[in-house]
Structures are given as C-alpha cells and as structure tokens.
Amino acid sequence: MRLRAQRLERLAQACWRFTPKIALAPPDGFFLDVSGSIGLFGGEEKLLEELLAELRLSGEPVRVCLADTPAAAWAGARAARSEGVPPSKTDTRAASRVEACTGFGQLPVIPPGAGLAAMSTWPVEALRLDAETCATLRELGLDSIGALDRLPPESLQARFGAETALRLKQAAGRAPEPLDYLPPPRDFRARLEFDSPVVLQQPLQAAIGELTVRLGDQLAAAGLGSRRFELRLHRSDGKRIRHGLRTARLIQPAPQLAELLDEKMQANGPAPDRGVGVDAVSLVAYDTEPVSAEQADWLSGASSGILKGDLARLVDRLCSRLGAEAVRTPVPQASYLPERRWRLVSALDCPPPESFVEEQGNSPRAPLLLLEQAEPVDAAATTAGGPPAWVRWRSSAYPLRRAQGPRRVAPEWWLSGEQPGREYWLMEDERGRRFHLYRELEGGAEPCRWYVQALAA
Amino acid sequence: MTQAYAELAAASNFSFLRGASHPAEMIDRAAELGLAAIGLADCNSVSGLVRGHVAAREAGIRFLPGARLQPRDGPEVICYPRDRAAWGRLCRLLTLGKRRAAKGQCEFSLTELCAHARGQVLLVVPPRALREISGLARLTNAGAHRVALAAPLLFDGGDAVRLKWLEERAEQWSIPMVAVADAWMHAPERKSIADVLVCVREGVTIDSAGFRLEANAERHLRAPQDMLRLYEGHEQAVARSVEFAEECRFSLEELRYEYPDEQAPKGYTRQQWLEQLTWESAGKRYPEGIPGRVRKMVEHELELIRELDYAPYFLTIYDLVRYAREQGILCQGRGSAANSAVCFCLGITAVDPEKIDLLFERFISSDRGEPPDIDVDFEHERREEVIQYLYERYGRERAGLTATVIHYRPRSALRELGKALGLPHATRDALAGRIWGREGGWPDEARVRALGLDPEHPRLKRTIEMAAELVGFPRHLSQHPGGMVLTSGRLDEVVPIANAAMAGRTMIEWDKNDLDDLKMLKVDVLALGMLTCLRKCLDLLGRHHGRKLTLASIPAEDPAVYDMLCKADSIGVFQVESRAQMSFLPRMRPRCFYDLVIEVAIVRPGPIQGDMVHPYLRRRHGEEPVSYPSPELRRVLANTLGVPLFQEQAMRIAVVAAGFSPAQADALRRSMATFRHAGTVKDFREKFVGGMIRRGYSTEFAERCFSQIEGFGEYGFPESHAASFAILVYASAWFKRHYPEVFACALLNSQPMGFYAPAQIVRDAREHGVTVLPVDVNESEMDSILAPDGAGGLAVRLGLRQVRGLSGRTAKRLVSEREHGYEDIPGLRRRARLDKGALRRLARADAFESMGLGGRRALWEVERLPVGGPLPLFSAAGVDDLPDELAAELPVEPPGERVLRDYGAVGLSLKGHPLTFVRAQLGALGYWTAAAVSEAVSGELCAAAGLVLVRQAPQSAEGVVFLTLEDETGVVNVVNWPGVFRRYRDTLMSSVLLGVRGEIQRENDVIHLVARRLENLSDLLGTLAAAPVAAPHTARLTPRLGRA
C-alpha cells in the first residue's frame, strides 16, 4: 500500500512543468489544474499529448481525461473507456500502456458545458462514492449516474447523505470542488535548452557549468542540500542519457557540485553519440534535506555519514570518477569464521558504527591480520586434542611456547556444503610472534590437518 | 572407565524451539555412551519427561526427571526433585509461574524458586560471561537438599579460564562444582537443526542469524572418557556428577494415580455404591422388571468391575452424566467400557445390551491393567458448561485438561524451514501447498521438478532434507479437545497446570500418551453437534407432537428408516451424510442396527486402505462364501463375516495371528497414531507381516491387514465407538424419516455442524414435503421454529439467526419487544432499538414482507433512516420524526438478482436457485442439468455445472478429489483423478460455480461424473448482480472423519 502511494506521488511529481497546482487523489489518481497553462502549451490537445509523453516515460499504465470539473475528469479517466461496465481495479492495472479513452474522439476531453449528459450511462462508482454506498445503490437498482439524477434530490440526500448529493452536483458543475494541492517539489532541477542540437563537447560543458550554478543557487536559497543528483542529456532522437551521482556529503554550493561533475565527465564524458545532438540538458537534485548548523563549515566538507572531513571529500571525488562500487570499506559482519568476519562494501553505503555487531561472551577478539587464504602447515600436538608444540610455516619452524584455546567453530553449512568444523588455537612462540592456528575437526582422533589463518592477535 | 559420569544438564526438543533432539534420542544416546544416568531438564517444563522416562525404562538407564528453571531475576537453575514431595513442590512452582503468565509462558521470581527448594537438588548454570552470579547466596540458603555449580565447556577459547574462575566461585560459596555437557542435542549432527530452530524462534533467516547461532556444535552428550579428558585437572567435577545423580532418587513411577474419592456417600464403599446405583437405575430403565439376560449381564460386569477395581471410574463418569442430565444436556458415552449393561442402566449410553451383542470383556482386557476408556459426547453448544462443572466440582488444583503436543507436520516443517533458509515465498508455498494429508506426497525429486523447481538447488535440497528431520518435532502444547484429568489429591503436585489459550480453561503439561504411560485416568468430555440437534429434535417432538421420547426409547429397528437409508436419502443424518457414505449406503443396504455399526466404521481410511470393503460387501450379498483365515481368527472376525473392519479386530489379529504381545500391539497402534519416522513403521511391518506368514497366513492377507492398521492412523475407529455412534445415526435417521420438519428445524438451529449448509438442509426438507417460510420480523423467533403451515401441518419458519451479521442480542430484542407485531420500519426501529446496520441486514433478508415491503422497497425505506439509534426524546414519545417525501420509482429487481441477494443475506433462497437464471447460458455452453446427468448411462460423455457444495480430498483416496455440485435440479457427484486435479487445481479451489466435462460412471444406483476438464463459471453469476456472492459453503479440504 505504501509502495503504491509512493508510485503515485512519483508520477505526480513528474508533472510540475505542466502546472504548479497538483493534487493527489489516492489511491490511484491525481489532478492537474491546467486552466492557466493551456495557452503555454498551445492548446488542450498539445498539452495532453505532452503530458501523455511525460507519463509514458514512467512505465506506469496511465489514463487521463480533461474536463470542466475535477469530478468529471476523475470519472472520465476511469469510466468512459467501456461504457456501462463498472471500472475495476484489476482492469486499470492490467492495462500495460497509456490508453486514450474512447468516446471522446481523438483525445480524452469532455467538451465544455456538456455536464451530466455526457455521463448519464456511467456507473455510480464514477462519482467517487465509498464502496458501501455504491453497493447499496446497486442493490437498489440505481447503477448509473443517470438513474441517480432522476431521483428527487431530497430523497437521495436523506438516504445517502450530503456527500453523495454533493458529488453528483460537482460532476454536473453545480457545486465547487476545492482541492488540496501538493507543496512545491523537494526535488530541485535546472534545465537548459539549446536552439539547435548540440554535438560538440565544449558548449555542453559550458551548459553543465551554468546548470550547477543555477541549481546551487536554488538550493542555497532554500537552505537545502542533497546527496543524490542526476544529469540528463535529452538527445534529439528522443533518448535520454542519465548520469547519476551519489555523494557521502550533503552537497549544496555550486563549486562542490561542479568539482564532482567534472570528475564524472572526465571519467566517462558526456559526449553524445556521433551525429546525434543534444536538445537540452537538465540537472536534478533528489531528496533534498535541510542543511543543519554543524554542516555549515563547508570548506572542511563536514558530513553526517561516518566519513568525515577531507576523507569524505576524497571519497566523493573517487566515487564520482570511478563509480560508487569501486571505492570500498570493510564492514564487520556476524560470522564466527575469521575470513567472513569482514566484508567490503561501497564507501557510500558504510553503515554507522553503532550498527556493528559484536560477538557475545568472552571469546578472544577476531584477528586483525588475515592471510589471503589459510595456509596448511606442519604442526604436532603433544597431547591428543591439545595445542601444537611447534609449527612449520613457509619452510621455517617456530617452537611454540604459549597457547590459548581451544575455540571451536562450526562450519556455515548453509553456505558451503559439508565442511569440517575447526578448532582454533592462538599460539605464541618464544619471540612473541603470534599465530592463529586451526585444525580441522574430522572424526576425532586421527591425525588432523593444521592451518595458519592469521598472524598477531 | 564406564559409569564414571552422569549427564545432569540435558534438554530435549520439549524446550520448544531450543532443544534439537527428541527425549528418546537423548536417552538412547546416553545409554549408548555408557553414562551412569541422564537427567532431562527442559526450560520451565516437564512436558517431555514421560517420554524420556519410558525411553529410559526401555534403554535400561537411570533417568532423572527435572526442569531447567528460569527465574526472571536470577540465574538458570536445573532442578531435580529428590522425592515425591519435592516433585510436588516443583510442579507447584511451575503451576504458579504458568497460571499467572500468558499461554506458553512461565514467570516466577528467584524468591519463589527458593520457597519451593526444599528437597530439590539444584544445579546453578552460570552465565556465559564471567560475571558474578546473582542470587547464588539466596539459593545456597534456600534449604535445598544440595546446591552445586554446573560447569559446562563452551569451546570459545576461554574454557580454562572459566573453569578456574568457576572453581573459585564454588569454593567461595562452599558448593561443589559439577561437570556438565549442557547438551541441547544428542549428537553434533543436529547442529543444523538447532540453527534453524534459532531462526524460527527469532524470526530471522539463516543468513542474517549471525551471532544468534551457537558458534560450534559442542553442546551434545559426551562419553565419560571424553569428559574426563576434557576436564583434565578437574576430574573431581566429573566424578561428582555420578554422586549427585545418586542423590536424585525420585522416579515418575512414584506418581500413583488415585481416583477422585468423593463419589460414594458415607457408609458405602465405592463398589457398593456403584452396585446400588446400577440396580436402582436398572429398575427405572426396565419399569416392567429387569429381563433375566440383562440381570445376568449386569451381575457379571459388576463382578468384573470389582475385580479390576474400576468402580471409581464408572462413578466419575456417572457423576458427569448425571450433572448433564440435570442440566438437560444430552450426552452419550462411547468407548471400550461404555458398551456394557452397567453403562446402559446408568444412562451413560443408549446402546441397549439386549439388542446388540457387545461383550463387555471383548473390550476390557483384564490382563493389561489399563484404565478403561469411556469418552462422553455432549451437545456441542453446551459442552463448556460440563467442563466448567468439573473445574468447580474438583477445583482447579485437581482437574485439568489434557495437553496435545502440536508436532511439526510435513507442511509446517517445509514452510518454516523454507522461511529460515530464505527460500522465496512462492517456492515455500509451492512446496508446502502440494502436501495433502499427513504423509501423502513428500516432495521427492520428481515432484519438485514438476513444480518447476530444481531439486539439485543446494538450499532447496537442504530444506527438504532437513524438513524430513524436523517432522515430528514438538512445536508447542495445545489443549486436547476435551480430555480431563481428575485426581483425588492435588493435581498440581503431579504435573504443572498452565493456562490454555481459551479463557477459563486450564491444562496440564502431559498429553494422552503420557497419561497412558503413567496409568493416569482421563475422561474425555467431547463436543458433538449431532447431540445438540437431537436434543432439539426431542424437545420439538415433545412440544409439537406430544411425544416424549429419549434416545433410548426411540422406536427401534423401524424398517421405514432403513428403507430411507438404503436409498442414500441421508442429508443431515449423523455420520452417513458424507459423500462417501452416501455412495456406500445403497451398496451396503443396512437393515438392522449392527449394520449401522459397520456402516459407521467401514467408510474410513483403515478398511479402505486394507481393501476390506469389497470383500465384506461380496460376502454380505452372498457373492462370496464366508470363510475365516484360520480357526483362531474365527472368534475375532465372526461378527463381520470374516473380514476385519474394526480397530479392535486389527489389534486382535496382531496378537492372535502375528504373535504380538498385547503391550506390543498397543505400541503398534500408538506409533500409527502419532507421526513417527518411517523407520519405525517399517520395523513393525516386518514384524507383523513376518509373524503372520510364519503362522501360515497368506502374504496378501497379512499385507492388507497391516495396510489397514496404517490406515487407521489417527482416525482408528473401534467397534465400541461405532456402536454408540450408530445409535445417533439411527435416531437422526428416524427423525428425518418420520418428522422431517422437526429434523430440519433442529438441524438449522444447531448450525454450524455436519456437512451441509442451511441451503442444502432447507432444500432437502422441501423435497421431503416440508413447507419452509422465510424470515420475517413479525413471525420469526431467534431460532427457526415450527409454525402452522395453513394446511393443518407444521412448517418451518426460518429464524432470525439465519440472517447473516445480525447479532444475537439484537435479534432477541426484536423478538422480546414485538408484542402484537411491528407496523412499519420506523416503529420497529424505535421499539426494538435497532440500528441502521441491523435494519439493512433484515431488509436484505427480505424480512419485511409482512409490512408489505418487499425487496428493494424495504431497503429504500431503511436507507432513509438516520444512522445510529433513534433519538431518546422521540422514542419516548413514540413518534417518528420523518417528513413526507415524494415517491421515487425504483427499477424493478430481476428475480435472479433477488435470489443471489438472498444467498448473500441468509445463505439460502426460497425463491429459486441461482442456476435457474443462468440456465440458458449454461445450455448454450453445453452443460446439462443434474437431473439430466442422473439419467445418463455409464460411459456417456456429459457436462454439468453447479455451485460447489463440498470439496473433499480424503487421505485414503490418494490424491483423488471429490466434489459435489448443486444446480436447480439436484446434485452431481464429481470425481477428479490426481492428474485432472493437478491441471485444474486453481479452478477447482477458487470456483463458486464450476463446470465439469467428463464421463459418466455408474455402479448400482451410484452415479459419478469423472472429470476431464473443469471450467470456472463464477462470472456467470456476476452477470446476475454486481454484489459478490458468498460461497454457499466454505471449501473443505481436510478429511472429515470422526476420532476414536
């Protein structure tokens, strides 16, 4: 359910360029009040075409309708496609492409002033009544908007409430419908359009520079920063090339952004395919968040992640240039096996240290210096099941003096197949060198194989 | 070196979701390792101890029953009672902790533990980290017999330090240190199971379980020499374990069961009192004098009862039955001891000993010394009263419900393991969804492949392997449907008592097998819907026809009743109304009471799997001579024409023909009843079949006998139970035959019960000439009633309880405020204080016809009323505040829609059948009516469509699914072979209206449509009305069979 709401909101947020008045109509619709912008797009049909083109990009199945009132548009978008059959949810979801409503001619527009006449055969569900009311109306045989309109309004109101009567009036345009408009977007964007397609690198670079300044100014004015940006090149063949950028720091001012974009460009270059030019460039800052006081010291590049100061800046630059996956940091994970105790993750995804898990109890700390792979060694225990008295590793022999153990670890059977368990001994030779040795626990008494896995404690 | 060590800290899988081995595995392993003794102590529970005790008796190892106590403010303490009194204290402590906590929890403080410490041997388990053990001082001063510090090895690299540290602590407190393996599994191989149990417990997957898992697989039982080697330098601690084990002398053998002793008044022994009661009651049963034969039987039985000292048992049951009778609750006993002249005289059963030759001794074997077995069925609506009576009469500390151990079944094991191993949801569902019944269909390689999964996928493979190991693990305790344990002394000193999930119920920690093993008495207080129905029948008969009858005095052996049953006209009749029974009745052609006894027992997995049904029928109809496998079996099989049908017979065969001892036969029965590993079954099979072959029986007969025993499984059905059930079959059939209106009315008022929904009951009643009148606010009572039908007869008037969603309170108020009737809807609303929701429901149910408001009109009027109740001012004045309004024209309601609305509102329609309205469309699709199907000849291809009444997949039918479809002309019985079912699974499961194409199969009067193709036609109903149709009957996929 939450996911659906998110998808709806994302869809609505893509429409800011058509109007500043967007209102959600959950669970599956939203209104655009385009009365002021029709002229800007050169007429209703032009606007609808562009709107559909924009929505098509989302990959979501969408239906639209343009009408005099929100109520009529809501009904039209849902009901008009196949007249007389109640709209079903599965139906809208099954449609895998944007569909123009039928019954309107070329585009889904209810002509001005048509009122209820255009809607009389549509099902009562098209009035946005709750499911229970609709069910009751159907039970009474009142299954179309027309049937409802033929009843004495007082009888209708007495039974199904003012809400039902109001919805009917709103559909007819006899009552106003105030909408709850969305607050202006949290995503900030800047866009530059070229007069003719641009193929060369240099004007593109200049345009990107201009965009970072514009976006930086917008962010600074709002007191916001972001960790996620996207640079889009709108090619003249209709394709878009996207360059995502993630950062460890919360970025606001243009110079920082420019520095990172610069790294990015140098790494993989924004050059469009030979011959296909770019119509426009846009730069978007996603998920903006307020810049707090302690982050104000921009020169030191403060950040709220675990990476601080110059390290964060370095990481950001490296990530911009090499990609986020190329810069890694070790993170502990909950495994008893030393070789699985640490795992490398992208430096941008490093969780805060508070979330690191520690082993319970009083077992010795995991070794810090692991060999790439545990190496078989010669060793011998003086007593069965006891610690070894010496070890021969990489052709040197080390007599062992002190032992701590044994510590037994079961294999992680869900990852590997049948593997023997291990018995670890932490050994120290006469010169204080420490070895993490283990033997495989197989069957028990038979001569067992020893390995050295780590050095020092 | 043997006998040098005793394990004092072992836990089994009765430490739910912690322990990874069965109690018996622990014990057997301990014996194998040569331990001096094994102590079993599960977390705050003694539920696994009886199993451990039995296993230890067989393995010949000393067994210490104990518990691992986990006080909320102290260390874990393992507690072994030293004597019976200390055991009582342990049980009291656990009872205290459990009664105050939620189900499955136990909560007590260290102080409370100390208060119950007298006579206990306590082992304090130190926490993992080396920190001071809180509460040690209080424990050492609590007056326990001995206190010691348990010293387990953790193999975490710090054992040497830990042992030294513990030794110092022990010295500081002057208590000894004892070596323990602290075993949660019998062998290290169980580590993976232990790991997944952690995952289930913590709700994580194995990949994210991390440090929640144990680091190693060291917590298992160890041999003495290993312990000595590992505790080098601390050998004393190892030796001390044996010394401590010697101190714990308590054995579960000491728990002697004593019957409650209040039944006999002063001056009588219980035997004397039973005799007196029996003769007195016999006088009442036979007002014209006790027949000589009965007198002799009673005398003989009383003698046997005296010999076996069963008088207290009979008195306990009698007391229960007496209470029920005083309260007007209909009840009947069944079971081995119930089929006796004594029980008949005492009114415990209605099985007249004169009419049926059921030898008491056949059911009571004096050599086993086992308690006799009587289950008592009560009206399902009023059983709780009886249970509460028992609590009241014996007190919470002397009465408790038996527990049932909920085990992992293949389905749940696969589901939970799949989840723990992180298999995707869909895979888990696919795996688990294919398992029907208990053993049927373990996902072998071919099946997995058929699901579109790769059986070689490591995780999947592992899941299936491990699930097999997990099957049979106890998951939690639940309450038994009605087994009550009653004791003379305090029950909470025998076994801990805990809260059951249901309010007002308390239950003990042991299940019925545990009680059998300890020879403790259990009285089964069961609920039976048919008894409710019959009591209502008897009441209605008395009220409307002036006939006062009881179960025992219903005219017996009425040929008209048997004629009806032979025609399979049995909707609503107890037991024989099921689909399988209906097709069997015309073949069986019952003509006397004993035929009904057989009828009840034969259509069950046991006889079916043993292929005993057809031989019996052939012999019954003289198509095959009656012969006996051997002279010794003649006695066992005489009543059933030489074919074993009943569970008792199968068990006798095991003894007489396969050479089992009675105790072994009993073990065989039980191992079939509780799900065990396939290995056990195999051993029994070899012994059984081999035994019979050696004694000269044919291999084929031996195999069949064993299959039959396997088939009995949990649903074994003995003759002694069948006889009591047969009485109810006969009684309900008698009512159906002679007073169909009484029967229909009582059935409707006893819902939910039986196989059929009200729609089918009403339809059947109407087919038998009963007039059924609709629900009406001015005519209906809460229940359905009998009312004059206008033609001098009685009609059934449907009750308000039929109206879906109408609360009982509202309906009662409607009836109680009615006086001379309601004139209009506002008046009804005001006087009966109904809210709009209730009025809507009544309107949808068309209950306003008597006001002249039908269908949509009534709803239209109701919708006009304001939400909520009427205003007090107006209601006091008796005025309704509605202004006049213009008349509105409502569209006319199509009849089909109306019928569907009836189904939605009352679950049935008197106006027609939904299929009438789509018949034309069905005809166009080539579907026949049920009537036409019934005329078809064998082998004919045909198609039928109908509402799905019942879906059944009996365990004995190996993947065959039976369906009953209903249309406006009758019902069609459909058989789906496994292949068809697999192909059309979803269609079959989800359709309300189903179309079936296939071939007719006819045998005698029984017609089946063998499906080839299925089609979901539910959308056709949708064209009648947009409102969703409630399924006429909920889908049922589990086999519905009685229990023994």
Instruction: Give me the tens of pLDDT residue by residue for chain A, a chain 457 residues long.
Output: 567 788 888 888 888 878 888 998 887 889 999 888 888 888 888 888 888 888 877 777 788 888 888 888 888 887 655 333 334 333 332 232 233 333 344 467 777 777 778 788 888 888 888 888 888 888 888 888 888 888 888 888 888 888 888 988 888 888 888 888 888 777 788 888 888 888 888 888 888 889 999 998 888 888 888 888 988 888 888 788 888 888 888 887 778 888 888 888 777 655 556 678 888 898 988 878 777 655 544 434 444 455 667 788 888 888 888 888 888 888 888 888 888 888 888 888 777 777 777 766 555 567 778 898 999 998 887 777 788 888 999 989 999 999 888 899 999 999 877 788 899 999 999 888 889 999 888 755 556 789 999 887 5
Residue of A nearest to B865 (CA): A159
Residue of B nearest to A423 (CA): B155
SS3 string, B109-167, reads: CHHHHHHCCECEEEEEECCCCCCCCCCHHHHHCCCECEEEEEEECCCECCHHHHHHHHH
Contact between B893 and B856 under an 8 Å Cβ cutoff? The reply is yes
Count of other CB atoms within 10 angstroms of residue B82: 18
Q: Does residue B807 sit within a domain?
A: yes
pLDDT beneath 50, residues of chain B: 1-2, 366, 436-440, 677-678, 1025-1044
Residues of B in contact with A405 (CB under 8 A): 157
Distance CA B532, CA B727 (A): 15
Q: Which residue has 């079939």 as its token pair?
A: B672
Contact yes or no for B159 and A406 at CB 8 A: yes
B130 lies in the same domain as B236: yes
Contact between A60 and A47 under an 8 Å Cβ cutoff? The reply is no
Distance CA B447, CA B440 (A): 12
- Which region holds residue B833: left if phi is over 0, alpha if psi is between -120 and 50, else beta? left
Class of domain A2-172: mainly alpha
Residues of B in contact with A410 (CB under 8 A): 191, 214-217
* Domain residue extents for chain A: 2-172, 188-322, 369-455
* B862-921 per-position pLDDT tens digit: 888 877 655 555 555 555 566 777 777 788 888 888 888 888 888 888 888 888 888 888
Phi and psi (nearest 5°) for B831?
Answer: -70, -40
Of B159, B211, B1026, nearest to A334 by CB-CB distance is B211
Contact yes or no for A154 and B886 at CB 8 A: yes
pLDDT at B87: 96
Q: Which of B656, B664, B601 is nearest to B632 (CA)?
A: B656
CATH fold of the domain at A188-322: Dna Ligase; domain 1 (3.30.1490)
Contact between A115 and A173 under an 8 Å Cβ cutoff? The reply is yes
Distance CA B754, CA B1040 (A): 10
Q: How far is A410 from chain B (nearest CA, A)?
A: 4
ipTM of the complex: 0.72
Q: Name the residue range of residue B139's domain.
A: 7-252
Q: Does residue B643 sit within a domain?
A: yes
B214 lies in the same domain as B87: yes
Distance CA B1038, CA B1002 (A): 26
B98 lies in the same domain as B162: yes
Q: For chains A and B, what is the number of CB pairs under 8 angstroms? A: 122
B898 lies in the same domain as B926: no
Query: What is the token pair recorded at A440?
Result: 């495989």
B83 lies in the same domain as B190: yes
What torsion do the CA atoms of B557, B558, B562, B565 make, to the nearest 10 degrees? -110
Q: Does residue B741 sit within a domain?
A: no
pLDDT at B651: 80
Best probe of the B interface among A362, A415, A437, by most B CBs < 10 A, is A362
Pick from B204, B228, B252: which residue ends a domain?
B252
In CATH, what number is assigned to the domain containing residue B192?
Answer: 3.20.20.140
Contact between A232 and A240 under an 8 Å Cβ cutoff? The reply is yes
Pick from B445, B471, B497: which residue ends a domain?
B471
Cis check: omega of the bond before B774, within 30 degrees of 0: no
Q: Does residue B476 sit within a domain?
A: no
Best probe of the A interface among B216, B856, B881, B898, by most A CBs < 10 A, is B216
Domains contained in chain B, number? 5
Residues of B in contact with A334 (CB under 8 A): 209-211
Query: What is the token pair recorded at B363?
Result: 């059911």
Contact between B717 and B1039 under an 8 Å Cβ cutoff? The reply is no
pLDDT at B418: 92
Contact yes or no for B462 and A407 at CB 8 A: no
Distance CA B968, CA B979 (A): 30
B874 lies in the same domain as B918: no
Contact yes or no for B859 and A360 at CB 8 A: no
Residues of A in contact with B844 (CB under 8 A): 139
- How does DSSP classify residue B604? S
Contact yes or no for B210 and A335 at CB 8 A: yes
Contact yes or no for A364 and B890 at CB 8 A: no
Contact yes or no for A138 and B192 at CB 8 A: no
In CATH, what number is assigned to the domain containing residue B991?
Answer: 2.40.50.140
Best probe of the B interface among A138, A159, A342, A412, by most B CBs < 10 A, is A159
Q: Does residue B305 sit within a domain?
A: no
Contact yes or no for A413 and B459 at CB 8 A: no
Q: Does residue B73 sit within a domain?
A: yes
Q: Does residue B136 sit within a domain?
A: yes
Q: How far is B521 from chain A (nearest CA, A)?
A: 47
What amino acid is encoded at B662 in this protein? P
B714 touches chain A (CB under 8 A): no
B684 lies in the same domain as B784: no
B131 lies in the same domain as B99: yes
- Alpha carbon B147 to its chain centroid, in Å, reads 44
What amino acid is encoded at A343 in this protein? R
Residues of A in contact with B216 (CB under 8 A): 336, 408-410, 421
Pick from B471, B495, B512: which residue ends a domain?
B471
Q: Which positions 110-129 of B are in contact with A (Cβ < 8 Å)?
A: 128-129
B644 lies in the same domain as B660: yes
Distance CA A40, CA A31 (A): 18
Question: B860 vs A431, B562, B883, B907, CA distance in Å?
Answer: 98, 51, 15, 22
B97-B98-B104 Cα angle (round to 5)? 135
Q: Does residue B203 sit within a domain?
A: yes
